[in-house]
A and B are shown apart, each in its own frame.
Chain A
Amino acid sequence: MTTQADDELWSAVADPSRLRVLDLLVSNGEVSASWLAGRVPFSRQAVSKHLVVLEEAGLVSRRKQGREVLYQVEANRLDQAARAMADLAAQWDRRLGAIKRLAEAAHAEATKTTRQP
Protein backbone atom coordinates (compact mmCIF):
# COMPACT_ATOMS: atom_id res chain seq x y z
CA MET A 1 0.00 0.00 0.00
CA THR A 2 1.38 3.39 -0.86
CA THR A 3 0.52 6.63 0.84
CA GLN A 4 -0.16 10.01 -0.66
CA ALA A 5 3.37 11.07 0.29
CA ASP A 6 4.86 8.11 -1.59
CA ASP A 7 2.76 8.99 -4.62
CA GLU A 8 4.20 12.47 -4.59
CA LEU A 9 7.73 11.09 -4.34
CA TRP A 10 7.14 8.66 -7.17
CA SER A 11 5.67 11.25 -9.46
CA ALA A 12 8.56 13.54 -8.70
CA VAL A 13 11.16 11.04 -9.86
CA ALA A 14 9.02 9.51 -12.62
CA ASP A 15 10.39 11.97 -15.12
CA PRO A 16 13.72 11.15 -16.76
CA SER A 17 14.77 14.80 -16.92
CA ARG A 18 14.06 15.25 -13.22
CA LEU A 19 15.99 12.12 -12.45
CA ARG A 20 18.93 13.60 -14.32
CA VAL A 21 18.70 16.80 -12.27
CA LEU A 22 18.50 14.75 -9.08
CA ASP A 23 21.44 12.65 -10.18
CA LEU A 24 23.55 15.79 -10.78
CA LEU A 25 22.61 17.16 -7.37
CA VAL A 26 23.54 13.89 -5.72
CA SER A 27 26.96 13.77 -7.32
CA ASN A 28 27.81 17.45 -7.00
CA GLY A 29 26.36 18.66 -3.71
CA GLU A 30 25.08 22.21 -3.52
CA VAL A 31 24.75 23.90 -6.89
CA SER A 32 22.76 26.61 -8.64
CA ALA A 33 20.10 26.23 -11.32
CA SER A 34 22.38 27.82 -13.92
CA TRP A 35 25.14 25.38 -13.10
CA LEU A 36 22.67 22.54 -13.61
CA ALA A 37 21.35 24.06 -16.83
CA GLY A 38 24.87 23.98 -18.25
CA ARG A 39 24.99 20.22 -17.80
CA VAL A 40 21.64 19.04 -19.11
CA PRO A 41 20.23 18.94 -22.63
CA PHE A 42 17.22 21.08 -21.75
CA SER A 43 16.50 24.72 -21.00
CA ARG A 44 17.15 26.73 -17.88
CA GLN A 45 13.35 27.19 -17.55
CA ALA A 46 12.87 23.43 -17.62
CA VAL A 47 15.53 23.02 -14.92
CA SER A 48 13.71 25.54 -12.72
CA LYS A 49 10.41 23.72 -13.21
CA HIS A 50 11.97 20.39 -12.28
CA LEU A 51 13.55 21.93 -9.19
CA VAL A 52 10.13 23.20 -8.07
CA VAL A 53 8.61 19.72 -8.36
CA LEU A 54 11.56 18.12 -6.56
CA GLU A 55 11.32 20.74 -3.85
CA GLU A 56 7.58 20.16 -3.43
CA ALA A 57 8.24 16.45 -3.02
CA GLY A 58 10.79 17.31 -0.34
CA LEU A 59 13.66 15.76 -2.31
CA VAL A 60 15.52 19.02 -2.77
CA SER A 61 15.98 22.11 -0.61
CA ARG A 62 17.17 25.60 -1.52
CA ARG A 63 19.28 28.19 0.22
CA LYS A 64 20.09 31.76 -0.75
CA GLN A 65 23.73 32.71 -0.87
CA GLY A 66 24.25 36.32 -1.88
CA ARG A 67 22.46 36.74 -5.19
CA GLU A 68 22.50 33.05 -5.92
CA VAL A 69 20.06 30.31 -4.97
CA LEU A 70 21.72 26.99 -4.25
CA TYR A 71 19.99 23.63 -4.33
CA GLN A 72 20.84 20.40 -2.62
CA VAL A 73 19.40 16.93 -2.15
CA GLU A 74 17.50 16.11 1.04
CA ALA A 75 19.22 12.89 2.02
CA ASN A 76 16.54 11.72 4.47
CA ARG A 77 13.75 12.10 1.99
CA LEU A 78 15.69 10.31 -0.72
CA ASP A 79 16.40 7.53 1.71
CA GLN A 80 12.72 7.40 2.56
CA ALA A 81 11.89 7.03 -1.13
CA ALA A 82 14.33 4.15 -1.47
CA ARG A 83 12.86 2.49 1.60
CA ALA A 84 9.26 2.89 0.39
CA MET A 85 10.29 1.10 -2.79
CA ALA A 86 12.02 -1.67 -0.84
CA ASP A 87 8.95 -2.08 1.38
CA LEU A 88 6.72 -2.51 -1.62
CA ALA A 89 9.05 -5.16 -3.03
CA ALA A 90 9.11 -6.95 0.33
CA GLN A 91 5.32 -6.88 0.41
CA TRP A 92 5.21 -8.66 -2.96
CA ASP A 93 7.79 -11.18 -1.76
CA ARG A 94 5.51 -12.03 1.17
CA ARG A 95 2.49 -12.37 -1.11
CA LEU A 96 4.38 -14.58 -3.58
CA GLY A 97 5.59 -16.70 -0.66
CA ALA A 98 1.99 -17.17 0.48
CA ILE A 99 0.88 -18.11 -3.05
CA LYS A 100 3.70 -20.66 -3.20
CA ARG A 101 2.65 -22.28 0.09
CA LEU A 102 -1.02 -22.39 -0.92
CA ALA A 103 -0.33 -23.78 -4.40
CA GLU A 104 2.13 -26.41 -3.20
CA ALA A 105 -0.26 -27.52 -0.45
CA ALA A 106 -3.17 -27.72 -2.92
CA HIS A 107 -1.02 -29.67 -5.37
CA ALA A 108 0.24 -32.09 -2.70
CA GLU A 109 -3.35 -32.65 -1.60
CA ALA A 110 -4.53 -33.33 -5.19
CA THR A 111 -1.62 -35.71 -5.85
CA LYS A 112 -2.35 -37.64 -2.65
CA THR A 113 -6.03 -38.07 -3.57
CA THR A 114 -5.31 -39.36 -7.08
CA ARG A 115 -2.60 -41.74 -5.91
CA GLN A 116 -4.73 -43.26 -3.15
CA PRO A 117 -8.16 -43.75 -4.68
Chain B
Amino acid sequence: MTDLSIEREILIEAPAEVVWRIVTEPDQMTLWFASRVDLEVKPGAHGYMEFGDQGGPVVVEAVDPPNRFSFRWNHPREEEPAIGNSMLVEFTLTPEGEERTRLRVVESGHELRDWSDTEKQRYADEHREGWGVFLDRLTGALAEHQSR
Protein backbone atom coordinates (compact mmCIF):
# COMPACT_ATOMS: atom_id res chain seq x y z
CA MET B 1 0.00 0.00 0.00
CA THR B 2 1.62 3.18 -1.12
CA ASP B 3 -1.28 5.48 -0.57
CA LEU B 4 -4.45 6.26 1.28
CA SER B 5 -6.89 3.43 1.17
CA ILE B 6 -10.14 2.14 2.49
CA GLU B 7 -10.62 -1.59 2.94
CA ARG B 8 -13.94 -3.28 3.62
CA GLU B 9 -15.13 -6.85 3.32
CA ILE B 10 -18.22 -8.99 3.65
CA LEU B 11 -19.06 -12.70 3.71
CA ILE B 12 -21.67 -13.76 1.18
CA GLU B 13 -23.63 -17.02 1.15
CA ALA B 14 -23.25 -17.65 -2.56
CA PRO B 15 -20.58 -19.12 -4.87
CA ALA B 16 -17.93 -16.76 -6.25
CA GLU B 17 -19.36 -17.07 -9.79
CA VAL B 18 -22.68 -15.63 -8.63
CA VAL B 19 -21.02 -12.81 -6.71
CA TRP B 20 -18.80 -12.11 -9.72
CA ARG B 21 -21.84 -11.49 -11.92
CA ILE B 22 -23.36 -9.04 -9.45
CA VAL B 23 -20.07 -7.18 -9.05
CA THR B 24 -19.11 -6.94 -12.73
CA GLU B 25 -22.22 -7.01 -14.95
CA PRO B 26 -23.24 -3.44 -15.85
CA ASP B 27 -26.97 -4.25 -15.41
CA GLN B 28 -26.27 -5.59 -11.92
CA MET B 29 -23.94 -2.72 -11.05
CA THR B 30 -26.82 -0.27 -11.45
CA LEU B 31 -28.55 -2.10 -8.58
CA TRP B 32 -25.82 -1.44 -6.03
CA PHE B 33 -23.49 1.21 -7.41
CA ALA B 34 -24.08 3.80 -10.13
CA SER B 35 -27.37 4.83 -11.69
CA ARG B 36 -26.01 4.20 -15.17
CA VAL B 37 -23.06 1.98 -16.05
CA ASP B 38 -21.61 2.01 -19.52
CA LEU B 39 -18.72 -0.38 -19.25
CA GLU B 40 -17.07 -3.24 -21.06
CA VAL B 41 -15.55 -5.66 -18.56
CA LYS B 42 -12.21 -5.96 -20.29
CA PRO B 43 -8.78 -4.78 -19.09
CA GLY B 44 -8.06 -1.30 -20.43
CA ALA B 45 -11.65 -0.64 -21.50
CA HIS B 46 -12.87 2.92 -21.08
CA GLY B 47 -16.38 3.41 -19.77
CA TYR B 48 -18.66 5.85 -18.05
CA MET B 49 -20.61 5.81 -14.81
CA GLU B 50 -23.39 8.09 -13.75
CA PHE B 51 -24.46 8.85 -10.20
CA GLY B 52 -27.70 10.78 -10.34
CA ASP B 53 -26.87 14.05 -12.05
CA GLN B 54 -23.12 13.50 -11.85
CA GLY B 55 -20.96 11.18 -13.89
CA GLY B 56 -17.43 10.44 -14.88
CA PRO B 57 -15.17 8.21 -16.95
CA VAL B 58 -13.82 4.93 -15.62
CA VAL B 59 -11.05 2.68 -16.86
CA VAL B 60 -11.07 -1.07 -16.22
CA GLU B 61 -7.75 -2.40 -14.91
CA ALA B 62 -7.88 -6.07 -13.89
CA VAL B 63 -10.43 -8.69 -14.94
CA ASP B 64 -9.75 -12.15 -13.58
CA PRO B 65 -13.04 -14.03 -13.18
CA PRO B 66 -14.25 -14.94 -10.67
CA ASN B 67 -11.58 -13.57 -8.34
CA ARG B 68 -10.39 -10.12 -9.24
CA PHE B 69 -11.92 -7.03 -10.78
CA SER B 70 -10.62 -3.50 -10.57
CA PHE B 71 -11.27 -0.16 -12.15
CA ARG B 72 -9.99 3.34 -11.84
CA TRP B 73 -12.20 6.38 -11.47
CA ASN B 74 -11.78 9.90 -10.30
CA HIS B 75 -15.31 10.47 -9.14
CA PRO B 76 -17.49 12.73 -11.20
CA ARG B 77 -14.76 14.85 -12.64
CA GLU B 78 -14.72 14.95 -16.42
CA GLU B 79 -11.14 13.85 -16.66
CA GLU B 80 -9.70 10.56 -17.89
CA PRO B 81 -8.65 8.59 -14.81
CA ALA B 82 -4.97 7.80 -14.65
CA ILE B 83 -2.47 7.09 -11.89
CA GLY B 84 -2.12 10.26 -9.87
CA ASN B 85 -5.55 11.81 -10.42
CA SER B 86 -7.85 8.96 -9.54
CA MET B 87 -8.92 6.27 -7.13
CA LEU B 88 -8.45 2.56 -7.80
CA VAL B 89 -11.30 0.29 -6.74
CA GLU B 90 -10.27 -3.35 -6.39
CA PHE B 91 -12.65 -6.22 -5.70
CA THR B 92 -11.26 -9.55 -4.54
CA LEU B 93 -13.52 -12.60 -4.34
CA THR B 94 -12.25 -15.51 -2.29
CA PRO B 95 -14.27 -18.73 -2.20
CA GLU B 96 -14.69 -20.13 1.30
CA GLY B 97 -16.20 -23.52 0.63
CA GLU B 98 -18.59 -24.16 -2.24
CA GLU B 99 -21.35 -21.79 -1.37
CA ARG B 100 -19.64 -18.98 0.44
CA THR B 101 -17.51 -16.09 -0.81
CA ARG B 102 -15.52 -13.44 0.94
CA LEU B 103 -15.79 -10.18 -0.97
CA ARG B 104 -13.24 -7.52 -0.23
CA VAL B 105 -13.04 -4.04 -1.66
CA VAL B 106 -10.10 -1.68 -1.46
CA GLU B 107 -10.41 1.87 -2.65
CA SER B 108 -7.08 3.59 -2.86
CA GLY B 109 -5.67 6.56 -4.61
CA HIS B 110 -3.87 9.82 -4.61
CA GLU B 111 -0.67 7.97 -5.27
CA LEU B 112 2.00 10.52 -5.46
CA ARG B 113 3.77 10.09 -8.75
CA ASP B 114 6.87 11.95 -7.71
CA TRP B 115 7.61 9.80 -4.69
CA SER B 116 10.71 7.69 -4.74
CA ASP B 117 10.38 3.98 -3.99
CA THR B 118 12.11 4.52 -0.66
CA GLU B 119 9.54 7.10 0.33
CA LYS B 120 6.71 4.82 -0.78
CA GLN B 121 8.17 1.96 1.22
CA ARG B 122 8.59 4.13 4.28
CA TYR B 123 5.00 5.30 3.95
CA ALA B 124 3.77 1.74 3.51
CA ASP B 125 5.71 0.64 6.58
CA GLU B 126 4.39 3.50 8.65
CA HIS B 127 0.82 3.26 7.51
CA ARG B 128 0.06 -0.38 7.15
CA GLU B 129 -2.98 0.16 9.31
CA GLY B 130 -4.45 2.57 6.81
CA TRP B 131 -5.20 6.20 6.81
CA GLY B 132 -8.53 5.84 8.60
CA VAL B 133 -6.88 4.27 11.61
CA PHE B 134 -4.17 6.88 11.57
CA LEU B 135 -6.74 9.67 11.61
CA ASP B 136 -8.60 7.99 14.46
CA ARG B 137 -5.39 7.99 16.43
CA LEU B 138 -4.76 11.60 15.51
CA THR B 139 -8.22 12.80 16.52
CA GLY B 140 -7.98 10.73 19.70
CA ALA B 141 -4.69 12.38 20.59
CA LEU B 142 -6.20 15.75 19.78
CA ALA B 143 -9.17 15.21 22.08
CA GLU B 144 -6.81 14.16 24.83
CA HIS B 145 -4.67 17.21 24.25
CA GLN B 146 -7.64 19.53 24.43
CA SER B 147 -8.94 18.00 27.63
CA ARG B 148 -5.58 18.52 29.35
Q: Which of A32-40, A48-56, A72-80 contacts B (4 or more CB under 8 A)?
A: A72-80
The residues of B that contact A7 with a CB separation of less than 8 Å are 110
Chain B residue nearest to A101 (CB atoms) is B32
Closest partner residue, chain A, to B32 (CB atom) = A98
Q: A68: which B residues are within 8 A, CB to CB?
A: none
Is A69 at the interface (CB under 8 A from chain B)?
A: no
Determine the distance from Cα of A102 to Cα of B18 in the docked complex, in whole angstroms: 9
Residues of A at the B interface (CB closer than 8 Å) are 1-2, 7, 10-11, 13-16, 19, 22-23, 26-27, 29, 73, 75, 78-79, 81-82, 85-86, 88-89, 92-93, 95-100, 102-104, 106-107, 110
Knowing A16-B122, A86-B132 are in contact, say whether A11-B139 is a contact too (CB < 8 A).
Answer: no
In the complex, what residues of A have CB within 8 A of residue B126's CB? 16, 19
- Least CB distance from B52 to A in Å reads 10
| A81/B32 in contact, CB under 8 A | no
Is there contact, CB below 8 Å, between B138 and A99?
A: no
Residue positions of B touching A, CB distance < 8 A: 3-4, 6, 8-10, 12-15, 18-19, 21-23, 28, 31-33, 51, 54, 75-76, 87, 99, 101, 103, 105, 107, 110, 112, 119, 122-123, 126-127, 131-132, 134-136, 138-139, 141-142, 145-146
Number of A-B contacts (CB under 8 A): 111
Residues of B within 8 A of A89 (CB): 6, 8, 132
Chain A interface helix/strand/loop/mixed = helix
Q: Contact at A1–B54, with CB atoms within 8 Å?
A: yes
* Given A1-B51, A26-B138, A95-B32, residue A106 in contact with residue B4 (CB < 8 A): no
